[in-house]
Amino acid sequence: TGLGRVRLYDDDAVSLSNLHRQILFRVDDVGRPKVEVAAERLRRLQPSLRIEPVAQRLTRDNILDALDGVDVILDGSDTFATKYLVADAAEITGTPLVWGTVLRYSGQFAVWHSGPGAPTDSPGLRDLFPVQPAAGSVPDCATAGVLGVTTSVLASLMATEVIKLLTGLGEV
């Protein structure tokens, strides 16, 4: 879409179990850092794209630095702890957050935009889900599974919202 810069955060390596739902990766990428492989693939798709891969987990210590200069956050993380950390930081900084999650055969996505500079009465994650669920309260992907195409559908919807936020086209 001609985006200028993307900052990727992930501390995980490509696993064979990722391949059916994470389409940037191939079998020969197994064991490599996800952000490194994703950056290489995205640069091949759009050579003018500036990609900053950061092979780290987002934490309370680095989240605000990670959001420095970011116009929109796209969160496809897979733990409640990370999702709430990102949502709280988005609210602190007033950065719009396009959020998605999948499990089994379904998924959810939303655009949260609260905090400084956000439209009046615009919701944040904690407005709908005030308390972070306990770790292990919901089965993870390894236990419950994920239909690969579900991630593609949700990712397309999320990407559409990011484009709308960045361009001002359509209604978010």
Catalytic residue ranges: 141
Residue 155 φ/ψ, nearest 5 degrees: -60, -40
Nearest by Cα to 69 from 95, 102, 51, 44:
95
Are 107 and 151 within 8 A, CB to CB? yes
Contacts of 143 (CB under 8 A, 6+ apart): none
In 76-124, the DSSP E strands lie at 97-103, 106-112
Q: How far apart are CA 128 and CA 138, in angstroms?
A: 18
Q: Tokens for 161, please give them.
A: 């919202």
Helix, strand, coil percent content, the chain, rounded in steps of 5: 35, 20, 45
